[in-house]
Structure 1
Amino acid sequence: MNSEIQDFGTSYLPNSNTIVYASSQDTASLVKRRHKWNERVFLNLYKANADSTTLELKDEVKLNKALNTKFHESNAVFTSDGNTMFFTRNNYVKRSYKTSSDEINKLKILKATRVSSSAPWESITELPFNSDEFSTAHPALSKDGKRLFFASDRPGSMTDGNNRLTSDIWYVTIDENGEFSEPVNVKSVNTIGNDLFPFISDNGDFYYSSTGHQGLGGLDVYVVQTNDKGMPVKEVINIGKPVNSSYDDFAFIIRDSLKTGYFSSNRKSGKGLDDIYSFKQTKDLKCVVDINGIVTNEENGELMPFATVTLFDKDNKKIKSIVVGEDAAYSFVLECGQNYSIRAQKEDFSIAEEFVQTPKISTTLEQPLAVAKAVEDKVVDIKVGDDLNDILDLNMIYFDFDKHNIRYDAEIELQKVLAFMNAYPNSIIDIRSHTDSRATDGYNIKLSDRRAKSTKAYLIMKGIKANRLTARGYGEYQLVNECSNGEDCTEEQHQLNRRSEFIIMKLK
């Protein structure tokens, strides 16, 4: 069905197996009109019958001339009776072609009606919230038909890094007389990127495409659950592969009861510039984060094939372990809003470990892992009295305010201390813990002592003998900045004082 030019923007015609879409094919004309900027053939609205088994679109027919003009028409949506249509068109109404003050022909949403499913479309009017100065496009109706969602770069939309208005999702309410309210910005889904092509499924799920999240590339399709008023309210989920790709993926529609649908994409595997794809949903969507990266040599950046990469949960329990190939690449699928650590191991090298806190939206993350020389090869000119923080380039072991438990990010750094003590089996380390100046001096001595002993207990739990560790708290008596009693300091400044040191007391 796809042509060699453009086909996209499917929609369901209610109470039928008919799909309406936009296409630049024009089988009825030997002369194709082209846009003067990009030389693309103008789009018209077509309909086709969807095969219930294969989802293939057949018997395509162009909609009647009252709808299709010599300019672009696309992206239609229908009321539940199938006799009212909202669709997108260039600013060309009643044979009048108009441009904005900067001479750009914008997009508008128009309304068409018919008296029955066999009657032609007529009474075509533009909606009152259109403007010659900005685009209004991609209409979508709520389940009850009382809200019309759309994409627009009208004033009030978010701006990008260059302070230019981007396209946001908006809506208007439709009253019992068919009158429209003033447009309202759907702030819960909009980003500084372009947010386009809304669609509300029969289950009330709100789908749209966006460039504003860190996705797979270009426009990705996202879904958000809605509340009892039909408004998107929960976390944004990237619906992932194979619908989303490194190209633009958009105009997603689905029939929940059948778990089938269509979307559009400009991926390379297509026939034209944009093509329509069908799909069958095989599992429920959930918020996941794809994370991938490569393992390299910290010293020279060379790939480290056949390294072992292991994924751990927030309790340091192993979830999955893989051995990377010649490309040294790994990938995992993580849950949104969770803490993980990813560890790379290679013979004759120290463990490389990174802490990952996944966002609450589906996205893709890059996390490279760089393994260093083994501790005994890396550490030179060390002596009694040195602090392992300096020798091993440790990130500081910080503690939360008024707490003495080992934080998840601190656990990653303690793994490096553990590796050192295993490499130097006769070494003895004195753990010195410090607090900030808040609370009383006496309380802080006791708190820091608990912190030091917590750190010691962690290393003992990991196999270090107790007689190789000493631990003591120093309270607030060795601050690293000016944040003493009564000083007005930020939380970040106070946190610098809540730290641990690892002093070498014996080496051999």
Structure 2
Amino acid sequence: MQKMKNLYYTFLTLVILGNVHSQNSQLNRARSEYEQLYYVKSSDIFLKVAEKGFKSQELFEKLGNALYFNNKMEEANKWYGELLNLYAATVEPEYLYRYAMTFKFMGNYTEANAWLDKFEALKKEDLRIKSYKEGSFDFKKEDKDITLINLPVNTQYSDFGSSVHKNTLYYSSPSVKESAKEYSWNEQKFLDIFSVSIKEIKVGEILLGKPKGYFTDINSKFHESNITYFNDTLVYFTRNNYYNNKRHKDSKRTNQLTILKASVRDTVNIKPLPIAIDNKEYTIAHAVFNAQKSRMYFSSDLSGRGKSDLFYVALDKNGEITGIPVNLGVKINTEGKECFPYVSEEGDLYFSSDGHYGFGGLDIYRVALFDKKVNSAAAETIVVENLGKPFNSASDDFAFITLENGNLGFLSSNRKGGKGDDDIYFYSRKCSATLSGLVVDKQTQEIIPEATVNVFVDGVLTQSLTSDKLGQFTYPVECNSKYLFKGEKEKYLPDEKNLVTGTQSLSYDVKLELEQDIKPFRLGDDVNQILDLGIIYFDFDKDDIRPDAAVELQKVIEFLKTYPDFKITVNSHTDSRGSSAYNLKLSRRRNASTIKYIIEVGGIDPSRIDGNGYGESMLLNHCSDGVKCTDAEHQVNRRSEFIINKP
């Protein structure tokens, strides 16, 4: 992507210096080429001039910039150092920032931070400094669960920016057409869009087909990149502002980037047309859509605040723009470059920036659930998170997209060890997690050793474990999976817990609480508590036994049949609503119905059961007459007690 990326950055970042007296004719020629953005040639000439001992602020600025914007950071560091050593009093503060970024690229974060401190002294309100001050992470820490694979489609040139639609990967690379022109900036051919089928993709492995060029009406004689599908027949992509066989230049005669759209159906396509917000005075690039296709996110220099900012614009169901661009705000956008947005299915915003705290160059950042929070009060709570290594490096890392709940995806980078100027990488997350389990007695919370724990995956028993002497067990679970753990032991009722693991490597805890099947009881205990009876409900102002109450009373009947040497006393209570006299009568009627049901339906000897109704005279809480209480608080007082007694 070096061509499109550098072209894009230069449109947004390059300030062409005015005419200055040259050291010699070589410098004059270099300046001319510099102002036309022909960096490769001009940097060679600037370097020859500087190496012959010529010195000037302009020479070192342009030489440093030529190297900096071509990502030759170590060389840029040398000449920016010369610039600041000799002309520190007169250079623009931005050169201090760029000098700091070259140190970051080289991995010298101590020196980088020292120069950022000097930059802060001159530009206290710069949002990049705020990010630098607030940012804090371990530059040496790396997520070992992530694997990066350099794709076989990468060439020795620039290959970058990917999107996936129907198992096909779309990306940009220099044109392979013999008639394609070379771009004078980096002496590579103009970019075209290519596609390659994804034959197999899984953690640690990807198998691709043979790359092929995209539709001829999409790939022009200029740059194309960052294609994205709105639906199966409508695409948006970035190109130099060229359509209807005409280049559209701004007031400075520069051909900016813009977003075009086109209808595509198999081998038939309609010629690309500009979108509603097209403006030849600005660069507009990198279109992506949220999951609902209700917003298009993009990058542009529309605002004039930063070198490029991120925006969104509303869309209708046909992909037509219905509103005006909305800047994502100062928590996202800095005075630097924010570009290559991407919105996941979950609404997470990913983007690249050189203005937020990072490793150097462009880093990839994430804002969780941004698409759901934007335009709401929750927007104030957004946090910009650096993805860290290995997603980010000291070089440029960008064009990040996710698949499979974030466990698979693609990114582009010009990091060391690649095949070309920029390469596309497939990333996968080896996602594993550990479950720690504990088996305890539900009532006493005492540990239960040597309990059997059966593990089910998708309803199939996969393994049986045994809790140790401390009641503990462990099990290696996989991410993004569903499990059921069932604990069992003799004389206990089983307990089971479901577990749904996420997409990150985490630790999970499961507590299995087994209830004693044979429970001790004493005289005076309530059968309700022993058997965990449900509430005995009655209809309003009624004393008939309802079907749901009959289920609970049947448990009392079975208790009496199992233990024939005991009798029970039934105590019926109401809440305080209604008069005391009414509640007393109602409780006695319901008490009589309860006892009658147990005797007649259960066949229990009448001598083994007695009881009474107490109305609202024995409330368990503060909800007496005149006290405002919730239904749940009143429900505590509406109860039936089945007290165990000796005959």
TM-score of the superposed pair, with normalisation by structure 2: 0.40
CA contact (8 A) 2:180 2:221 kept: no
CA contact (8 A) 1:151 1:196 kept: yes
Q: Report the equivalent of 2:419.
A: 271
Q: Report the equivalent of 2:169.
A: 19
CA contact (8 A) 2:218 2:271 kept: no
CA contact (8 A) 2:154 2:420 kept: yes
Larger Rg computed on CA atoms: 2
Structure 2 distance, partners of 1:228, 1:23, is 30
CA contact (8 A) 1:6 1:25 kept: no
Q: Report the equivalent of 1:60.
A: 211
Q: Report the equivalent of 2:327.
A: 185
Task: Quote how far apart the aligned CAs of 1:19 are.
Answer: 0.7
Identity %: 37
Structure 2 distance, partners of 1:183, 1:217, is 29
Q: Report the equivalent of 1:69.
A: 220
Give per-residue Cα distances to partners, 1:353-388, cap 9 Å, x unaligned: xxxxxxxxxxxxxxxxxxxxxxxxxxxxxxxxxxxx
Q: Report the equivalent of 1:299.
A: none
User: Is the counterpart of residue 45 in structure 1 residue 45 in structure 2?
Assistant: no
* Paired residue type of 1:140: V
Q: Paired residue for 1:216, among 359, 364, 376?
A: 359
| Secondary structure at the counterpart of residue 189 of structure 2 | coil
Structure 2 distance, partners of 1:134, 1:220, is 24
* Paired residue type of 2:288: A
Structure 2 distance, partners of 1:258, 1:139, is 20
Task: Quote how far apart the aligned CAs of 1:37 are.
Answer: 3.3
Structure 1 distance, partners of 2:314, 2:388, is 31
Q: Paired residue for 2:262, among 92, 112, 131?
A: 112
Summarize the Cα distance change of 1:125–1:32 in structure 2 as closer, same or farther, 3 Å threshold.
Answer: closer
CA contact (8 A) 1:109 1:139 kept: yes
Q: Paired residue for 1:124, among 267, 272, 277?
A: 272
Task: Quote how far apart the aligned CAs of 1:72 are.
Answer: 0.3
Give per-residue Cα distances to partners, 1:431-463, cap 9 Å, x unaligned: xxxxxxxxxxxxxxxxxxxxxxxxxxxxxxxxx
Q: Paired residue for 2:233, among 58, 80, 83?
A: 83
Task: Quote how far apart the aligned CAs of 1:130 are.
Answer: 1.6
Q: Report the equivalent of 1:297.
A: none
Q: Paired residue for 1:169, among 292, 295, 310?
A: 310
Q: Report the equivalent of 1:95.
A: 245
* Paired residue type of 1:278: F
Task: Quote how far apart the aligned CAs of 1:48 are.
Answer: 0.5
| Secondary structure at the counterpart of residue 427 of structure 2 | strand
Structure 2 distance, partners of 1:42, 1:191, is 30
Summarize the Cα distance change of 1:242–1:227 in structure 2 as closer, same or farther, 3 Å threshold.
Answer: closer
| Secondary structure at the counterpart of residue 55 of structure 1 | strand
Structure 2 distance, partners of 1:180, 1:23, is 33
* Paired residue type of 1:72: H
Structure 1 distance, partners of 2:232, 2:389, is 32
CA contact (8 A) 2:349 2:371 kept: no
* Paired residue type of 1:146: S
Structure 1 distance, partners of 2:206, 2:344, is 18
CA contact (8 A) 1:138 1:151 kept: yes
User: Is the counterpart of residue 153 in structure 1 residue 301 in structure 2?
Assistant: yes
TM-score of the superposed pair, with normalisation by structure 1: 0.51
**Equivalent residue pairs, number:** 270
Give per-residue Cα distances to partners, 1:43-102, cap 9 Å, x unaligned: 0011101232422432111011111100000001112x3221111000111110122222
Task: Quote how far apart the aligned CAs of 1:158 are.
Answer: 1.7
Summarize the Cα distance change of 1:246–1:228 in structure 2 as closer, same or farther, 3 Å threshold.
Answer: closer
Say which structure is richer in helix. 2
Give per-residue Cα distances to partners, 1:468-488, cap 9 Å, x unaligned: xxxxxxxxxxxxxxxxxxxxx
Summarize the Cα distance change of 1:220–1:170 in structure 2 as closer, same or farther, 3 Å threshold.
Answer: same
* Paired residue type of 1:88: T
| Secondary structure at the counterpart of residue 229 of structure 1 | helix
Structure 1 distance, partners of 2:208, 2:219, is 20
| Secondary structure at the counterpart of residue 257 of structure 1 | helix
Q: Report the equivalent of 1:35.
A: 183
Structure 2 distance, partners of 1:227, 1:221, is 15
CA contact (8 A) 2:313 2:325 kept: yes
| Secondary structure at the counterpart of residue 271 of structure 1 | coil
Structure 2 distance, partners of 1:55, 1:258, is 16
Gaps of at least 5 residues in structure 1 are 160-165, 285-508
CA contact (8 A) 2:348 2:371 kept: no
Alignment of 1:355-394 (within 5 A): none
CA contact (8 A) 1:99 1:132 kept: yes
Structure 2 distance, partners of 1:215, 1:179, is 34
Q: Report the equivalent of 1:254.
A: 402
Q: Paired residue for 2:338, among 188, 195, 207?
A: 195
Structure 1 distance, partners of 2:431, 2:383, is 19
Summarize the Cα distance change of 1:120–1:281 in structure 2 as closer, same or farther, 3 Å threshold.
Answer: farther
Task: Quote how far apart the aligned CAs of 1:40 are.
Answer: 2.6
| Secondary structure at the counterpart of residue 258 of structure 2 | strand
Summarize the Cα distance change of 1:46–1:238 in structure 2 as closer, same or farther, 3 Å threshold.
Answer: same
* Paired residue type of 1:30: E
Q: Report the equivalent of 1:445.
A: none
Task: Quote how far apart the aligned CAs of 1:30 are.
Answer: 3.2
CA RMSD after TM alignment: 1.9
Alignment of 1:127-138 (within 5 A): 127-138=275-286
